[in-house]
Amino acid sequence: MTEHVILVYGDLLTKERLDTVRNSRRIEYTPKNCFQYVIFFPGLFHYKMACADALWCTHIQPKEGHDDENSLYQHIGVLRPDEMGKIVSKPGFRRVHDVLHHDVWASILDCWWIEAHHQNTVCATLEKFAESEPTWDVIITMSHTIVRKYMATTDGLDAARSKPLLYIDLCQAMNTRDIRRVEASFLPWIYIFKATGKHKYSSQISRFLNNLQFNSPESLSDIIQMNLLCNPTGKSVAFCAVDWLVERNNLYTKVIFPGGGPNGTLEHIIKESPLIEIYHSCHVTMENTFHLQHRTIRHSAPNTMKTIKKLSGCMNDKNVHLSKDGRKALRVVPDQVSAGMTLMQEQKVVNEEDNSGFEIEGDDFLD
């Protein structure tokens, strides 16, 4: 054991329990007895949930900007008109995750329409522009123009890092197992966590990043980086966090296959836990045999193309991405990266209790 380490994935509560064990064993004489071989790092699934919660606290929860026609809250009224009350109270991770993606997709569609109209004023829609068969060089040039005009509009990207686009980039990096991009996202999110009151996440991610880049041996850092994500399905662009897989197994163990009646005991759950994957495979086989697909918690993804096009059309009607004289915003979204950086430099004493985050639900385990 002295020549090996054990990697532990989990949320901050797991980290606190591990620290408690280490504190109680710190008087021991050997590294093994002090539990120094147990290496903890925050699970990326819980990290992504904290990112979504921070964006919810910044862009959706404040009531000051709800009446602004170009706010994210108004866009949610188009995307999910029946869930406006839910979205400002306890939306859950999956709901916020989908809203952020759909809003960015609609924004990008509107930007593409504006640039397509500049390329060819005859094209009234993107479909008409596609029918004109633009060359690949034109598409690349338009892509660079969109990034330059509508995303990187400041001297530096620091002011834009608190926008939902940073969250989309994180999700894409995790799905493709781009570990360097995931690691590069830590620093701006550390500041955002600090500004939104998630001080424990800010300190833990900061400590993990510092250990990964400076304190840990290079061989150990490589091992940690290679094991941050896994791909249980073997499909492309389907990597997931290890703690997501652990929570998914907990769902099957404790909720779906826990046993009922007198069998619903802790001893039964522990005894049956090694057979969870077998049970799951049997269910899938029976569903496929009797053509009962999409009858479990894994539903087919909804077709949101019409809704996204509707939101993109609303953005176009209100000229969201065009400068308009005399138009003012009812609320200026704070630069959380700058605010968090200021708090860390001033080293202000803050409450160590984090703001309540999202609770894990069954829908969070859908692909």
pLDDT tens-place string over residues 120-152: 777 778 888 888 888 899 899 998 888 888 875
6-10 and 240-241 as β-strands: parallel, antiparallel, unpaired? unpaired
pLDDT over threshold 70, residue 162: no
What secondary structure does DSSP assign to 269-316, as a single string? HHHHGGGHHHHHHHHHHHHHHTT-TT-SS-PPPP--HHHHHHHHHHHH
pLDDT at 262 over 70: yes
Query: What percent of the chain lies above the pLDDT cut of 90?
Result: 18
Supply the pLDDT for residue 56: 92
Q: Please report which confidence band the pLDDT of residue 367 belongs to, taking 50, 70 and 90 as the band edges.
A: low
Asked whether the predicted pLDDT for residue 79 surpasses 70, the reply is yes
Query: Using CA atoms, how far apart are residues 191 and 339, in angstroms rounded to an integer?
Result: 7
The per-residue pLDDT for 301 is 64
The pLDDT of residue 232 is 84
CA distance 252 to 59: 34
Q: Report the mean per-residue pLDDT for the chain.
A: 82
Q: What confidence score (pLDDT) does residue 157 get? A: 38
Cα separation, 176 vs 303, in Å, equals 23
Provide the whole-model pTM: 0.83
- What 8-state DSSP symbol labels residue 151? I
Report pLDDT digits (tens) over 20-63.
888 888 888 888 888 888 888 888 999 999 999 999 998 888 88
- What would the pLDDT profile of 200-214 be if each residue is shown by its tens digit? 889 889 988 998 888
CA 197 to CA 97: how far, in whole Å?
20
Lowest-confidence region among 255-269, 277-291, 344-358: 344-358
Decide if 215 contacts 153 (C-beta within 8 A): no
Using CA atoms, how far apart are residues 300 and 363, in angstroms rounded to an integer? 12
Q: Which residue has the higher pLDDT, 119 or 195?
A: 195
Cα separations (Å) of 119 from 62, 108, 139, 140? Answer: 39, 16, 11, 13
Give the separation between CA 191 and CA 82, rounded to whole angstroms.
33
Give the C-alpha separation, 263 to 283, whole Å: 20
Closest by Cα among 307, 337, 336, 324 to 70: 324
Determine contact, residues 47/88, Cβ cutoff 8 Å. Answer: no
CA 154 to chain centre: 25
Which one, of 189, 191, 221, lies nearest residue 44 by Cα? 189
pLDDT for 161 equals 39
Residue 10, φ and ψ in degrees, nearest 5:
165, -175
Question: For residue 160, what pLDDT is reported?
Answer: 42
pLDDT at 182: 92
What whole-number distance in Å separates Cα of residue 195 and Cα of residue 54? 9
Q: Which residue has the tokens 């999700």?
A: 171
- Please state the rounded mean pLDDT for residues 167-178: 92
Q: What is the pLDDT of residue 159?
A: 42
Of 302, 308, 298, 359, give the one whose Cα is nearest residue 108: 308
Please, where are the H alpha helices in the chain?
Answer: 12-24, 44-55, 72-79, 84-89, 93-119, 126-131, 136-146, 164-175, 179-195, 199-210, 218-226, 242-251, 266-272, 276-289, 305-317, 336-346
User: What pLDDT score was predicted for residue 30?
Assistant: 85
Q: How many residues does the chain have?
A: 367
Place of tokens 């706010």: 71
